[in-house]
Structure 1
């Protein structure tokens, strides 16, 4: 992670993660409120949420209008520096920006995705992951006051269908960051405060946390029969045209990102 940020001109501070093994039962029950089905977040999920909240508080108490949060296993495109050298590319009404691609097909660093303009879109799908995002100081203050959680932190931030969600999110497309595990699979968080012009670097030793419990293995998918395949092939060109038209309409509301041309010096 440090090698990626070397030369970016950003003030980086490594924030120790909350260790799930050190959370008392009373503390877990205080933060992990039961969902409608009666289930609660696991200790690892609560610790992850509290680790992000620790970063939100740093941004809320800082001097800069925006801050960026990165989990330690994030990979970035080679041309990532302008995203941290200035916040001028973020529109005033934008409070949170997802920088992360959910899979390689939507990652700028994947071969074949290097052309075209980067754009800032309103979030339209509820992708998993909160490994790289930018947060406004104003929204950070609101989120940092959160005490009770019913869903993991990535769903809390970026699930547009979450009940009670009272803020809008945006995302950079194609994504300019991706978790290493999505390309091929520590447990601490790296936060950077975006200043007006440039930033310096501070690093704190990481703290390990317990990994989340493994999820249940999904049932094998049943392959469609010949009639279903024929219907799918007939529909495909119409769906492609519909997708292209929707994409053209979306681009009118998501102008290209105007990044600063000059990189800040350390």
Structure 2
């Protein structure tokens, strides 16, 4: 399986960090789009969020230009568990209908469907709710094509597009690895090796707190409160998922 690492040219330290974790696992570096070189946007995204989304889109296109059935996409501020190798050496564990498989965790409450075995004593289950972070995931070819369609004129950040609030409503079949095999640096306690790198969004757009922007945008994006209520009822009564926090271990 091809592995892509998205990395800004000026972040050589992060690339070295990823090389140190990947050891002899081959990967292709995708030069990230630099938000500082993008003029202010009116697309509903900050220029840094737009740069992040375009970086992922470029990686998806690179994947589709090859012949692999699946590919792994990583951002450069990750901590990765040792059994990551087993996940990318075999594709047999990936559900045949999967558009995407989220490999990391944002340590938030999510809703998961029935679990099935995955390498490294892990499990994989359908993800029925939003799970933030676009830092580590797999895509099928169908998934990459679908996400390029969905994000052609997107006003949502990369992670909101990849792992939306109600993926099934968009015809997306999204899965979650549990426990996660990766986590972003800013989510890992310093005592465990985290907090080495500032989050790219926070450092790039410090004058506009990311959380506040997202809350405001999310309110505007809702089709209607009634639609969300109906989806919530459908998820709870028909899909009957389990609510849990995906751990990193």
Judge same fold: TM > 0.5, yes or no.
yes
TM-score normalized by structure 2?
A: 0.63
CA contact (8 A) 2:97 2:173 kept: no
User: Could you say what secondary structure the match of 1:155 adopts?
Assistant: helix
Match of 1:92 in 2: 96
CA contact (8 A) 2:131 2:164 kept: yes
Is the aligned partner of 1:215 residue 2:219? no
- Cα RMSD of the aligned pairs, angstroms, is 3.4
TM-score normalized by structure 1?
A: 0.60
Match of 1:198 in 2: none
Match of 1:260 in 2: none
Structure 1 unpaired stretches of 5+: 33-39, 107-115, 188-208, 219-244, 251-266
Equivalents in 1 of 2:210, 2:148: separation in Å? 31
4+ long deviations beyond 4 Å: none
Match of 1:23 in 2: 38
User: Could you say what secondary structure the match of 1:170 adopts?
Assistant: strand
Which structure has more RCO (C-alpha within 8 Å, separation ≥ 6)? 1
Which residue of 122, 126, 130 corresponds with 2:130?
126
Task: Tell me which protein shows more strand as a share of its residues.
Answer: 2
Distance 1:158 1:2, change over 3 A: same
Match of 2:177 in 1: 172
Shift of 1:217: 7.9
Match of 1:7 in 2: 24
Equivalents in 1 of 2:121, 2:108: separation in Å? 17
CA contact (8 A) 1:123 1:160 kept: no
Match of 2:75 in 1: 71
Structure 2 unpaired stretches of 5+: 1-17, 111-119, 190-194, 213-239, 245-249
Q: How many residues align?
A: 182
CA offsets 1:50-90 (integer angstroms, 9 cap, x no match):
00101110111111000100000111111211111121211
Task: Tell me which protein shows more helix as a share of its residues.
Answer: 2
Match of 2:58 in 1: 54
Equivalents in 2 of 1:137, 1:90: separation in Å? 13
Matches within 5 A, 1:131-150: 131-145=135-149, 146-150=151-155
